[in-house]
């Protein structure tokens, strides 16, 4: 064997090294588990969902996600950026709603609304959302349940007309909530 051939790897070894490098690259670029904000509709009805949250640009409300009975929907994709999120839901089939005392803007048709002040003056509805405390987790799933299964919703303290811009909306309902008595969505 000559000195030149001694340091030259065999073709099979070169191919194996290239394959290992490709596999290592794929392993490093593999996506981590999803970190999303999801809602599961554990009722026998179709529900409409509106969501409120605060991000780097301020308060936003969005709607409507239509979630069929016994199904889940991802409302926000990616790692959560806030501790508190706010939900308003309507039972399309039997009436009723899941609501709370955190007042934010909404409307009957699809919407994305920046800010939560002066809803009526800006041509929107003023709607009571219930609070979801994620405990600063990266991912969270809210479970909507039937009336009587788990009525854990509590009023939010200190929010008669909504919190001032930028103020935390503390207190409130745990992630599972049952609808109030059947009625049409409140429009104020």
| pLDDT tens digits, 124-151 | 999 999 999 999 888 999 999 986 444 3
In a domain, 88, yes or no: yes
- pLDDT at position 168 is 30
State pLDDT tens for residues 155-174.
223 333 333 222 233 333 33
Q: Give first-to-last CA distance, the chain, whole Å.
A: 91
Task: Report the domain count for the chain.
Answer: 2
**72 and 160 assigned to the same domain:** yes
User: Strand, coil or helix: what is 88?
Assistant: strand
**108 and 77 assigned to the same domain:** yes
CA atoms within 13 A on the CB side of 159: 25
In a domain, 161, yes or no: yes
**13 and 62 assigned to the same domain:** no
Residues 6 or more apart whose CB falls under 8 angstroms from that of 105 comprise: 61, 111, 113, 115, 116, 119, 122, 124, 125, 126, 127
Domain range for 57: 37-177
In a domain, 184, yes or no: no
**110 and 171 assigned to the same domain:** yes
**86 and 47 assigned to the same domain:** yes
Backbone angles phi, psi at 107, to 5 degrees: -160, 170
In a domain, 185, yes or no: no
């Amino acid at each position: 064997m000559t000195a030149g051939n001694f340091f030259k790897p065999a073709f099979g070894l070169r191919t194996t090294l290239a394959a290992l490098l490709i596999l290592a690259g794929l392993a490093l670029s593999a996506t981590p588990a999803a970190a999303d904000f999801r809602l599961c509709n554990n009722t026998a009805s179709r529900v409409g969902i509106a969501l409120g949250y605060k991000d780097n640009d301020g308060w936003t409300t969005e709607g409507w996600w239509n979630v069929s009975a016994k199904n889940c929907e991802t409302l926000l994709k990616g790692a959560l950026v806030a501790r508190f999120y706010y939900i308003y839901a309507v039972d399309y089939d039997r009436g009723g709603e899941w609501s709370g005392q955190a007042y934010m803007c909404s409307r009957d048709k699809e919407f994305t609304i920046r800010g939560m002040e002066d809803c009526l003056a800006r041509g929107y509805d003023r709607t009571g959302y219930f609070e979801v405390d994620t405990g600063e987790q990266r991912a969270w799933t809210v479970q909507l349940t039937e009336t009587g299964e788990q009525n854990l919703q509590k009023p939010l303290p200190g929010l008669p007309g909504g919190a001032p811009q930028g103020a935390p909306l503390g207190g409130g309902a745990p992630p599972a909530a049952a609808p109030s008595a059947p009625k049409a969505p409140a429009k104020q």
